[in-house]
Amino acid sequence: MNELLKLDNVTKHYHSFTLKDVSFDIKPGQIMGFIGRNGAGKTTTLKCIMNLVHYESGSIYAFGKEMKENELENKQKIGFALSELNYYPNRTIKQLVSVTKRFYKDFDEKKFVEVCKLFNLDINKKLEELSSGMKVKYSVAIALSHKAELLILDEPTSGLDPVSREEVLDIFREIVKNGERAILFSTHITSDLDKCATDITYIHDGEIVYTGDKKGFVNSYLFIKDNTKNKSLLDDYIAYKELDDHIEGLISSDKKELFTNNGIDPTEPDLEEIMVYLERSKNNESFTL
């Protein structure tokens, strides 16, 4: 299956931060969650993909074509939105789309109006009058109206109430349902990925720690809540914290038998538990309270 997007050893240097040899790809039908702490390099990576920042080495391909050399052509097939829409806040959606459509040769204004109705999005409202959820829906409506095959979104569910977040996730699932489109979105709300992501790319301090199937990522770890407070096993945790009545932490799944033999039953972690403990472990933070 051909990749819609492929990054190969992309590197970008700043004074106090380096995006180092970032490599991953995304295929049709995938919803890839891009996770990592604030400042880990998520937004920088997305900007590199869209050629909004210059990267020193590596390659980025979209739809099988090098991004820098085929930028205008490739961007016709990409729907892209950063975390917040702030341009022309006093313009209505109708006014904004009359300008936006000029950038896309296949823009279907009738389709845009239909999608806005489906999303309950009033095209006569000004951008500043839209909630965060409505702004996400507006970005998605634009992408669907120029037949984007790949959506790249930066923190699209940040600041949304639970109902709006669920609506947006439903939209994401529907978009990739036919197996022709894909979505890459950065987020710190890992519960959203538990619900809709097929794949995960995890970045730490500018480097990719994992990229691939979400299930495979989750299955690599187990969560421990040890009410016996068995300190002889502390070295076998990836990271842990000692609380008043128990020890809890993360272990590699291959250590399951060690814990069950000591009367401790591991459970499957969620993405938030995995990320929290991996981050603290990698930053050598103390887990003893």
Model pLDDT for residues 212-225, shown as the tens digit of each residue:
999 999 999 999 99
pLDDT at 288: 41
Residue 173 is predicted with a pLDDT of: 93
188 vs 207, higher pLDDT: 207
Mean pLDDT, the chain, rounded, equals 90
**pLDDT > 60? residue 289:** no
Share of the chain above pLDDT 70, in %: 96
pLDDT at 269: 95
For the segment 279-286, the average pLDDT, to the nearest whole number, is: 68
pLDDT of res. 176: 95
* Whole-structure pTM value: 0.88
pLDDT digits (tens, 9 = 90+) for 81-122: 876 666 777 899 999 999 989 999 889 999 899 889 888 889
The mean pLDDT of 33-50, rounded to a whole number, is 93
5-214 carries CATH number 3.40.50.300: yes
**pLDDT above 50 (res 154):** yes
Q: For tokens 């050598």, name the residue.
A: 284
Q: What is the pLDDT of residue 30?
A: 97
Ranges of CATH 3.40.50.300 domains, the chain: 5-214
